[in-house]
Chain A
Amino acid sequence: MRRRTSFKLRSYLGFVAVASLAGLVIGRPELVALAAPFALYVAVGLALRREPRVALSVQLKRARVLEGDEVCVTVRVDPQADFDFLELELRPWRELATIGEPRRALRLRAGMPRETLFRLRASRWGGYPIGVVACRACDGFGLIEYDLPPLALGALRVFPRAETLRALIDPVELQATVGSRVSRERGEGIEFAEVRPFAPGDRLRRINWRATARRGAPYVSERHPERSADVILFLDTFAEVRDTTGSTLTLAVRAAAALAAAYLARKDRVGVVGFGGVLRGLGPHLGTAQLYRILDALISSEVDFSYAHKDVSFVPRRLLPAKALIIAITPLIDRRSIAALFDLRARGFDLAILDVSPISLTPAGPTRSDALAHRLWLLQREALRVRFEQLGVAVSEWRGEQSLQLPVAMAAGSRRRIRHPIAV
């Protein structure tokens, strides 16, 4: 606990000193008499002062919330003695906004605990400390201020709020595992595909009796089996563009969370690769538990600055299974990640790119040469996009203002148009 003299004490002592000195210098006792009540006040106040004896504890209603949710923190103050003034000041983490007054002042009576509720709003996903509550106490005379050790409020995990997506990018190839996507192959399933002549080994229950009766020879029905897909969300964490309103990484993580939830709801296996200065990965799996694993992995995503060159060979093979659909979520600004995407395509992976556009975060500069440079940069991005599309990779831009559904549907549509690439 740190003690500080208050402004009041300094003012009173200053007045007493000046008046007493002036009284001595000019030989007038009246000035000393004028200062005497202030000196007496200070003396009595300092003699009767009591140090605050309080126990502070914190109760957090929920340690896991969604972006935009309210976080309620209750600070409990257990006083062991009467105290006139205790001020609690909430100092939250930068991603949390305080709702209401961040300062609360309490009058404490021994044995009567007080609870104070602070409300915050989580504005961005991530795992971070909530902040601290600074405690300042002042005695009844207001002469000494006590700074109590700040109370840490614990940690919070804020998950990105995932948008519900209806249309998704369909993978070109499906896996052998059972799922809810109708495969183009023939086999056991529900969807009818075609009829073909009976062959030795065919089960009798597959005979199509109508076709058999019409053609005079046994025919069997072929069906499309239901299969699942492997979807890898390839998150570019080499670089980001940010300003006060947001960042490309924030958008990328929101998009990844929405896509993961949507694909997992369709019984597909989903994995995540965070490709950047530090490689993070989560192998593809099914189910709700995987969704929470992915969200946990996503909220620890951050841009780790690195000069190290990395390519796709650094990614473990289990994170990039064969026939997987890879959805790269990237601002397309770092050469290493762009090279990795070309490399993935050259290795035959089914690739789609969701471009979390940095354009709205990087306006052109004030001069003509700045404007020219900005136009060149935009042209460069457009050329890159054309190069990817020539390789059969759909590139769809998302600026964050509109729904994610729009770029996802556009990517799905353009994949149908560019199914046959010009050159690989």
Chain B
Amino acid sequence: MTGALPLLAGGLLAGAELVFSALQRAGDPKPSVQRRIAWAAFVGLGGVVAAALVLLAATAHLGRSLPITFAGTAAAVGAVALLSRAWRR
């Protein structure tokens, strides 16, 4: 569970960003869905890294959390890349 925590934190932040951008009032600068997902993914990835670093600094679960963090980050990047490719098509 601890090893997956950075992923959870990043996902939570990305979800919150998506919700707040959806609540934004309509207007000509309202970003497209693609841009909003991209921004949420970027923020989420940052969140994953930040949470992982905090967790690393605070706990000794280095052996478990580090591989899971990097694997999760790579999975998230892959998912975003796939999603953006699907949008372009």
Contacts and interface: CB of A to CB of B under 8 A. Distances in A.
Contacts of B47: 37-38, 40-41
A143 to B, nearest CB: 10
Contacts of A191: none
B27 A33 contact: no
Contact of B30 (A30, A32, A105): A105
Nearest to B59: A29
Nearest to B10: A37
Contacts, number: 75
B51 A84 contact: no
Contacts of A104: 27-28
26 contacts: A11-B16, A29-B58, A30-B55, A33-B5, A33-B52, A34-B51, A37-B10, A37-B13, A37-B46, A37-B48, A37-B51, A38-B16, A38-B47, A40-B47, A41-B47, A103-B25, A104-B27, A104-B28, A105-B25, A105-B27, A105-B29, A106-B28, A106-B29, A107-B28, A107-B29, A142-B24
A32 B50 CA distance: 11
Contacts of B26: 105
Q: Which interface class (under 10, 10 to 19, 20 to 34, 35 or more) fits B? A: 20 to 34
B38 interface: no
Interface of A: 8, 11-12, 29-30, 32-38, 40-41, 84-85, 87, 103-107, 142
B55 A29 contact: yes
B20 A36 contact: no
Which of A29, A37, A87 is most buried by chain B, counting CB atoms within 10 A of its CB? A37
Contact of B54 (A32, A87, A103, A106): A32
B27 A84 contact: no
